[in-house]
Each structure stands twice: as C-alpha cells, then as structure tokens.
Amino acid sequence: MANKSILDSALRAAVNVGSSKLPTEVAKSSAALLSSLSETKHTLPDLAYDYNALEPAISAETMTLHHSKHHNTYVTNLNATIEKIDSAMIAGDVSATIALQGALKFNGGGHINHTLFWENLCPDSKYKGDGVLAEAINERFGSLDKVKAELGASTIAVQGSGWGWLGFNPKTGKIDIATLPNQDPLEASTGLKPLLGIDVWEHAYYVDYRNVRPDYVNAIWDIINWDVVESRLVAAKG
C-alpha cells in the first residue's frame, strides 16, 4: 500500500504539470520518491498450496505455467517499468512519464490481480452460509447460487481477455459484480474493493478446458477460498 501511495503521488505530480519539463522542486521530490520505490523490487508471491493441489479444477501444468511464467512476467515487466518511470522523472520528462502509464497499468494490474487470484483459491473450499459474507450476499443477491449464476455469466461473457469480479462498493455499502478487460485493476478502475476475482485470460484455462470457458468458470467454484473472500469484505467495511 505504501508503494502504491508513493507511485500515485509522483504520477499525479507529473500529470498535473503542463509543460514538457517538471519544475525543479517537483522534479527533485518526485525523483526521490520514485528512486525509493524502484529500490523496492516487486516479487512473485509464494502460493499457500502446491501446484497440483487444485486438481481436477485446475491442473498442475496450468498452475505451473500461470504462476511461474505468466505472473512472473508481469512482475518482471512491472519492475522494469518503474525503473523507466524513475529515470523519466529524474530527467523531468513528463511526456515519457505519461507514456509509461499504460505499461504500469497493464503490468501493475497483472501483478495485483494475480496476487489476489491465488489467494482466492484453495483445495478445500467451504462456504459457511452465515456471517458477514453470507449476510452481504443474501442482501444483495438472495443466495450464493445466484451470485455464482450472475458472476459466472458476466465473466464468461467477457470479450477477449479480462476478469470477472465480486467487489465491495464503499459508496453503497453493498457488494457488486463487475468485469474488466485485460489486466485493469478493479479498485483503481471502478472504486470497488476486490473480494473475489476470476481470471479469464486463456492462459488460465486453455490447457485444461481448451476454448470452453464456461466449463472452467463453472469448475472454479469448487476451489474458492470463501474465508479469504470474507476477510477481504470485513477489511473493506472497515
């Protein structure tokens, strides 16, 4: 969270300047902030389970490729992008800083989304049917089955690559469903706080389900870690 605040502050400072060069005082402070951030490398998170633990819903082959290859690529590219932003800020080059925002959004979003995704999964899925999460689900949707049906349908319908999300809306105090393209991060894009995400990039399911996305989305409900979903809801409610 601290890293995000540092980066957001530096980018806001850059974007709000109209000229092609940053004023000296802004350049110095922004460069210092981004230098600090770039020294803190993002890393691939460890999983709380083995690659084969989610079978048969997700195979060990898919998990190995998805985590060690695809997610790791986002982490590598995120670190490289932050270094480039750091250099652009030091040079006072607003244009270059702005041009890098797309790479920051894509790779930063990929890292955020996948980190949330791994935590969303577990080999022993149990839904308690009571507590804060169940109350929120029943109030908004009526039942867990209705959440599965609505979120599942929305996620399956994502065009191309993207994500389906269950999130908490701080403005209404209720949970909502959203879908986003590519690696757009939920909270930064919509204001919803992420509770549960379903990755529907083909690399998440093609080995196991080929192009039959509905079978993958239907199977993933068997491995959702509802305790993590509930803990996120509690934290989001404050």
pLDDT per residue over 7-19, tens digit each? 444 444 443 444 4
Number of H helices, E strands in the chain: 12, 3
Residues 6+ apart with CB under 8 A from 87: none
> In one letter, which amino acid is 234?
V
Residue 204 has a pLDDT of: 98
Residue 215 has a pLDDT of: 98
C-beta of residue 48 within 8 angstroms of C-beta of residue 122? yes
* Average pLDDT rounded to a whole number, residues 74-89: 92
The predicted-structure confidence for 67-76, as pLDDT tens digits, reads as follows 999 999 999 9
The predicted-structure confidence for 180-222, as pLDDT tens digits, reads as follows 999 999 999 999 999 999 999 999 999 999 999 999 999 999 9
Residue 65 has a pLDDT of: 98
To which residue do tokens 């702005």 refer? 98
With CA atoms as reference, report the closest residue to 158 among 103, 216, 225, 209. 216
* Average pLDDT rounded to a whole number, residues 33-50: 77
Reported pTM: 0.84
Residue 35 has a pLDDT of: 52
